[in-house]
Amino acid sequence: MRVRTYFAAALTSVVVNTHAKTQTLNLKNLQAEGVSSIEEPKRSTPAQVYGQIRMEGMQYLTPIPETPNLTYSQLLSARLSALKETSWVDMVADVSGGTFFSRGQSHFVVHEAYLVNHGNTPLKIYTGRKKNGWSEMDRRWQLGLWQPKFAFDTLRPDEQGLTGVFADYNMRGWEVVAFATPVFIPSMGPDIREEGGGLVADSRWYRAPSRDFALNNRVNQIVYELDIPETAKLVGNGAVAMMGRLGNKERGAWVVASAGHLPVNDLILKRKIQMDASEGGVDVTVSPDLTYHDVYSVDVGYAFENVKTSVSYLQDEPMEKHPDVDWAIQKLLPLKAYSAAVDFSLNNIWTRTLAFQLEYLKVDGGGIVDIRNDGQPDDFTLFDSRLKFTNALSFRVEGQLASIFRRPFVTRFKYLYDYDQRGSLLNTEFLYYPNQKWAVVLGGDVLGVQDENHNPSSFLNQYRANDRVYGGMTYVF
C-alpha cells in the first residue's frame, strides 16, 4: 500500500527561468542563486515560455544491502515556465515533472501559479502560489521555516511559495507585503509506505524510524502502521504574514522585517503504541499532523558594485500540541538562528568572471521531543532534530574557467563544514555547452564526518554513505 505523508503533489512551487539571457545559467541555477520573483515581461511580448529537459544518470558509491535498487537511477525530468498577459491580469505558471525509469516512479510539481493585476501600478494583488523574500536566511540555507520545500532529493531541495492572496505595495525605496490564506500546503518529500512491518521509501535520503524498542530489559520488535487523516483536515488551515522593506537590495543599505503566524511546513508525527505481551512485540500506529508556529525574521544588508553583504536573524516559536490519550506526538522546540553572508564577484580572472559566496549559520534550539497527552516527555522519540545544519560555514564559487572548442566550460564548487556535526559536504559540478541550448553535465557529492561515534543521529553522520556521482545532458528552450 502506497501513501503520501505530504499531500498536494500537484500544488508545489519555483521561479520562471530567464535562461535565454545567458548561456551559462539554466533554470535550476536561478533558483539556487535565490531569484525569488519573476521578471516583468516586455509589453511587446504578450506571452513568454521557457523550459528545460534533463536526462541524468546517478550512481551511489556505497550500495545498501537492504535497498540495492537505489544504488543507480536514471531520471528524465522537464520544467516549463510561462507568462501570459491579458488586458486585466497577467498569468504565471511554473511546473515540473520527472520519472525514474528503473523505479517506475513519477512526480509532478506546480512551483508557482498565480494571477496578478495588469499594469505598472505600485499596488499588486497576487492570487495563487507565489514566492516572496520573507527571509534571506531561510532562502540561503533552505530551512523551510517560512516557505515549504519540495525535497525528493535532500541535497537538491526546491524552495516553494506560499498559496493565498498577496497584497504588495512596492516603491523604489520601500515595500510592504500582506499575506493571508485559508490553505496550507506542506513541504513534500519521498513517498512513504508500509512494508514488512516497517515504514520505507524509495529514497536514499529517507531515514526510517527504529524497529527496536527496549522495555523491561528486553528488546522488542516494532511493527508500524500508517494512519493518514483526511486531506481536508491538513490542507484547510489558514495563515497570515507581513513583510516590510526599506532601501534597495541592489544598491546601498537595506533592511527587511517579516512576521507570520503559519502552520509548520514539515508535518509532525503522532503515534500510538500497543504492546502484545504474548508475542513480545510492539504495534505502532503513525499518523501525520500539523501545528502552528510564529516566525519572525530581520535581514540587514548593504550592496556595493560587486559586493553584497547581509546579516540575518530568525526566531521560530512552535505551538505545543497535546495528543489524545494513549497517543504521543512530536513537540517542536523553539529556535533562534543567526547568519551572515557575503557575495562578491571578481572580474578579469583569466579574462573571465567568477562569483563567490561565503555564508555562516548558527542555530540555537530546534530539537524535537515526543510528549504524551499530559505534556510529559515520552520514553521513545522518533526523530530529534528539525534542521540539517546548526553551526555551519559554507563557501561557493561558480564561473566559466575555460573554453573548449570556443564553447564555455562552467565549474561550480561548494564546500560546507558543520562544527556541531564535525562533518562536511562537498558539491562539485561541471557543465560544457556545445551550443546555447545544450549542456553536458558531470558532478558529484561527498559527505563525511571526522568521528562516526559523535552525534550518530546528525544529518552528515546518517548519510555519510551517500557519496555519489552523476552525469547527463540538459536542453533549454
Cα separations in angstroms, 30 against 17, 136, 209, 212: 7, 15, 35, 44
Q: 3-class SS at 461?
A: helix
Q: How many CB atoms lie within 10 A of CB 253?
A: 12
Instruction: From 404, 416, 385, select the one nearest 442 (Cα to Cα).
Output: 404
Which DSSP category does 209 fall into? P
**Residues recorded for the chain:** 477
pLDDT recorded at residue 210: 79
SS3 of 84-126: EECCCEEEEEEEEEEEECCCCEEEEEEEEEEEEECCCCCEEEE
Asked if 367 and 385 count as a contact pair (C-beta separation under 8 A), the reply is yes
Write out the three cell numbers for 7: 499531500
Q: Which residue has the cell 537538491?
A: 156
CA 390 to chain centre: 16
Write out the three cell numbers for 360: 555562516
Q: 3-class SS at 139?
A: helix
Residues 6 or more apart whose Cβ sits within 8 Å of residue 199: 192, 193, 208, 209, 224, 226, 286
- Identity of residue 204: R
pLDDT recorded at residue 47: 79
> What are the φ and ψ backbone dihedral angles of 292, each rounded to 5 degrees?
-95, 165
Give the integer Cα–Cα distance in Å for 466 and 460. Answer: 9
Print the domain residue range for 85: 2-476
pLDDT recorded at residue 65: 87
Which DSSP category does 232 fall into? H
Give the integer Cα–Cα distance in Å for 260 and 179. Answer: 9
pLDDT recorded at residue 49: 93
Q: What is the mean pLDDT of each run of 10 residues along the chain (477 residues)?
A: 33 29 33 38 66 97 90 95 93 93 82 93 97 96 95 91 97 95 93 88 87 69 89 93 96 97 96 72 89 98 94 98 93 97 86 90 96 90 90 96 89 97 97 95 97 94 96 96
CATH of the domain at 289: 2.40.160
Cα separations in angstroms, 160 against 64, 91, 249, 392, 396: 31, 18, 21, 23, 23
pTM: 0.86
Total count of domains within the chain: 1
